[in-house]
Amino acid sequence: MHKIFRWSCRGVLAVVMILLFSFLVQLHYRPYYVSDQSGTYPADVLAQARYLSKVIHSGGAQRMQEIFPEGFLFMHALHALSWATIAESGRHDIFVHQDYVEGEAIRAITWSLRAMESPEGKRPFTKDMSPSYGIFYRGWTNYVRAKKIHLWSEPEDIINFQKSSDEIARALRESEGPFLPSYPHAAWPADMVVALASLARYDHHFGTQRYQNLLTDWVTSVRGQPDPATGLIPHAVSAPGNQLLEGARGCSQSLIHCFLPEIDGPFAEEQFQLYRSQFFTTRLGLPGIREYPVGHSGSGDVDSGPVIWEIGGAASIVGQRAMLLHGETEVYVGLRNAIEAFGLPLRLGKTKRYLAGVLPVADAFIAWSNATEQSAQEQLPRFNWGKSLQFFLLIILFLLGWTFVKL
């Protein structure tokens, strides 16, 4: 009996030591790159994107829809955007049928865009709105369409892009406020930012100023009605009326700062500095993004994911991408590696997943954020956070090892 107890204790100690060692190793994660005739790509992000493709083709988007109100659309949108970001570092001259990464990416993007445009993609949304199906659906679908056209376009994509962009613009011109509803009587400003980023991409791609005045007027309007507590774009407003319902939150702010630079660079930088000062923080020396601004607290919900010690799960994952887009490379590396350490990444064959793949929509957000770091030539700083925590964990690991030997 004593021997069974001793070996049971050893087994538990071994598991704890493996987890601690893995945590410490992942804190110092550094990506590596692979190449083919279409370009050079981050290997782990490629593995994540391939895992998402596998999940989606086995009904993963439908399963996420059963858990989240926009699970199906988010899965396909983030799957497409992850592949699009990967492919943007390619040569852009590889045909879709060729067996290179860029061709693989274009096929994946096309698959997800068609799913978003399908009746199943539209089903959770209300058609009788302006624009039809609401600004969440129209914004994300149009943005994915813009990214696909940038890489490889088909006539129907260009027609749909022009039509959808004009419908979004017309709805905004006819609106009494800057934030169009995503559902009847419900508006989230972050959804509007995604939609307007797609209009900015239209002008950039076609070399026009078709929507420039509209975007300028929108920024002026938004400047005039910020969340008074933070000076930031609010999390939720009424529809119609655009009256403040909920002030700025980390999950929506992190998302906003991934798209706002495409609309207006100076305004985006002003907003980003307010976001950084009120939402970025550290816990035990590791970086994180608060779900609620300094001086406020709250619980998690379907938008934020888990909120632990005031740190938002979604806010930190998406905030990682926002930080790199705004040049905060040290913070980006800190967030990226903290997510690697806590996310328990698992490589199986050509795929990579987090937390054993139990929540694919989280894998989708992580893949999209990680894909931002797409250039093999880009020199990012080494991880330089949580030194005291690492030293403490090394001592714990040593003591556990000593106990293991003595048992």
**Distance from the Cα of residue 268 to its chain's centroid:** 17
How high is the pLDDT of residue 219?
98
Provide mean pLDDT across the span 141-165. Answer: 93
Alpha-carbon span 242 to 4, nearest angstrom: 66
Name residue 262's amino acid.
E
pLDDT tens digits, one per residue of 25-53: 999 999 888 877 767 788 899 999 999 99
The phi, psi pair for 368, rounded to 5°, reads -60, -45
The phi, psi pair for 207, rounded to 5°, reads 65, 40
400, 16 contact by CB (below 8 A): yes
Instruction: Answer yes or no: is pLDDT of 314 > 50.
Output: yes
Q: Which residues contact 307 (CB under 8 A, 6 or more apart)?
A: 291, 298, 299, 300, 313
Instruction: Answer yes or no: is pLDDT of 403 > 90.
Output: no
- C-alpha torsion angle, residues 304, 307, 310, 315 (rounded to 10): -40
pLDDT tens digits, one per residue of 238-289: 988 899 999 999 999 999 999 999 999 999 999 999 999 999 999 999 999 9
How high is the pLDDT of residue 84?
93
91, 38 contact by CB (below 8 A): yes
Which residue in the block uniquely carries the two structure tokens 């985006």?
268
For the chain, give the percent of residues with pLDDT over 70.
Answer: 96
Alpha-carbon span 185 to 196, nearest angstrom: 20
Instruction: Answer yes or no: is pLDDT of 369 > 50.
Output: yes
For the chain, give the percent of residues with pLDDT over 90.
Answer: 73
Q: How would residue 92 be classed by pLDDT, with cut points 50, 70 and 90? A: low
Q: How would residue 376 be classed by pLDDT, with cut points 50, 70 and 90? A: very low
Alpha-carbon span 64 to 67, nearest angstrom: 5
Q: How would residue 297 be classed by pLDDT, with cut points 50, 70 and 90? A: confident
Compute CA distances 104 → 76, 81, 231, 361, whole Å: 15, 13, 43, 21
pLDDT tens digits, one per residue of 46-89: 999 999 999 999 999 999 999 998 999 999 999 999 999 988 87
pLDDT tens digits, one per residue of 324-359: 999 999 999 999 999 999 999 999 988 999 998 999
Beta strands in 169-243 (DSSP E): 236-237
Domains detected in the chain: 1-27+387-407 (no CATH), 28-385 (1.50.10.10)
Q: How would residue 375 be classed by pLDDT, with cut points 50, 70 and 90? A: low
